[in-house]
């Protein structure tokens, strides 16, 4: 009897562990959704110095200048064909030669904050 109970307890514990793992995996796989309002706060404190408040950029440090997000031509550039992927990569890994910080890689911004910033940049962009 005692033996049987143990098997049940182990079974229940395993099942619970599987359910918890499943939920964690489902959460990790769900894409993060950016919140532009949160992005604006981050942008104002961390990005304006180089990208300007309106996103028009043009600030040159050591390489390429910051892009002009107010120019439809910027968004028409084939390298921004998938703008979110392009921006995510840049914010994550930086462009060290040009002076763009690797915010994600260095742990200065969390994945959710990067999504918030991308969402905000879309709201200030002029694409047409």
Where on the chain is the footprint of ligand HEC (CB under 6 A)? Answer: 46-47, 49-51, 61, 63-64, 66-67, 80, 87, 90-91, 95, 98-101, 103, 117
**DSSP codes, 39-103:** HHHHHHHHTHHHH-TTS-----SSSSPPP-TT-HHHHHSGGGSSHHHHHHHHHHH-BGGGTB--T
CB of 56 to ligand HEC, least distance (A): 12
| Residue count of the chain | 128
Q: Report the C-alpha gap between 108 and 70 in whole angstroms.
A: 26
Distance between CA atoms of residues 90 and 72, nearest Å: 19
Nearer to ligand HEC, 100 or 124 (CB): 100
């Amino acid at each position: 009897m005692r033996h049987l109970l143990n098997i049940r307890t182990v079974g229940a514990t395993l099942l619970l562990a599987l359910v918890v793992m499943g939920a964690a995996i489902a959460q990790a796989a769900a894409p993060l959704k950016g919140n532009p309002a949160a992005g604006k706060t981050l942008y104002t404190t961390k990005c304006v110095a180089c990208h300007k408040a309106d996103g028009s950029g043009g600030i040159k440090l050591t390489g390429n200048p910051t892009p002009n997000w107010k120019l439809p031509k910027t968004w028409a550039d084939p390298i921004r064909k998938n703008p979110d992927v392009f921006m995510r990569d840049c914010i994550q890994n930086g462009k060290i030669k040009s002076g763009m910080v690797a915010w994600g890689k260095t742990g200065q911004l969390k994945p959710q904050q990067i999504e918030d910033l991308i969402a905000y940049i879309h709201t200030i962009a002029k694409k047409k």
